[in-house]
Amino acid sequence: MNPRTSELPKLAAYTTLRLGGPARRFVSAATSEDLVDAVREADAAGEPVLLLGGGSNLVVGDAGFDGTLVEVATTGYRRDGGIVDVEAGQNWDAFVAGLVEAGLGGLECLSGIPGSVGATPIQNVGAYGCEVAESIVSVELYDRETREVRTLAAADLGFAYRTSVLKGTDSGVVLSVRFEVREDGLSAPIRYAELARTLGVEIGARVPAAEAREAVLKLRRGKGMVLDPADHDTWSAGSFFTNPIVPSAEAEAVLKRITEVVGAEVPQYPADGGVKLSAAWLIERAGFAKGYPGPGNRVSLSTKHTLALTNRGDATTADLLALAREVRDGVHERFGVRLHPEPLLINCVI
């Protein structure tokens, strides 16, 4: 089967933010072979390529994308014992739900995250104390430089907080991901305090995977982090900023400054090479409350969670970026901490 090519409406129809202008060309690839063919064809023609999964981690400029948009429409997964191979275009939460229904654990704390499986290793998707790096065995990808399909083991993916060797480069096109799951039906150890409280267990406990999934979905819904077309608080790209990591050499001075400004203890967490701070905590104490409006009230911080920047229905990408700059610069001016965006910015900057 050949990839399906057609004219593309605005990318707003394909992103969870519902923002973004048109692409020059649109191709839908329903198999890995189609996906490789589509990318090879575009590369041979010198055409820029943008891969589209669930559109949940994209901020696309109002001018759109001057190239070929390739929709990764591959779906399905195969299990052999505790090993599961998943197609890149498979809806992530549907996959997690399927595992839980089959009595398999390990990924339930990542329930409710929008998007596709192929995007998860790129930024080492994580939530509620878990990251996909803990379960990924390997990734099969198409290497656009060598024009070959190859497999990278987890150890070769350079996983770190919300990143991997695949992030920031388009040379590797993820075709499928292999995960190791738990066959005892229990969750991964519960590490996140809020989730532990919701479940009524101690940190480190394991619970039935279905119970952990239900609790995570409850928490995410309360923060507007489960997609709902009727709820503008979910018209977002999820958490817009990553939690900043302050290098060890700077941590003491930065923490002292923040404490002096807010007159309270700063929440902090150990991280490789430094101290991780809560972006949401900093945003709120820099004067940006839930629901803080952007230009013309067309965008705002979510009314449920300050980390989400939302489209209130008739926004432009320029509106969203203006609010993002205001928040980023406000936090930096008040605390000396620079926030960085988590989504991929296409034909736009903040």
Q: For residue 113, which of 134, 135, 131, 137 has the smallest C-alpha distance?
A: 131
Residue 281 neighbours by CB under 8 Å, 6+ apart: 266, 267
Q: Is the dihedral of CA 104, 107, 109, 115 positive or negative?
A: negative
CA distances from 262 to 250, 269, 303, 334 (A): 19, 18, 23, 10
The DSSP bridge partners found for residue 149 are 142
Q: For residue 136, which of 163, 161, 155, 123 has the smallest C-alpha distance?
A: 155
Distance, in Å, from the CA atom of 143 to the CA atom of 294, rounded to the nearest integer, reads 41
**What residues act catalytically?**
162, 239, 342
**What are 47's two structure tokens?**
């055409």
> Cα 89–130–113 angle (5° rounding)?
40
Length of the chain: 350
What is the strand order of the sheet 4-6 is part of?
A: 4-6, 23-29, 65-72, 49-52
Distance, in Å, from the CA atom of 258 to the CA atom of 38, rounded to the nearest integer, reads 50
Distance, in Å, from the CA atom of 161 to the CA atom of 270, rounded to the nearest integer, reads 12
> Cα 120–125–126 angle (5° rounding)?
150
Contact 293, 300 (CB under 8 A): yes
Tokens 């605005």, located at residue: 10
**In the chain, what are the helix, strand and coil shares in percent, each to the nearest 5?**
30, 25, 45
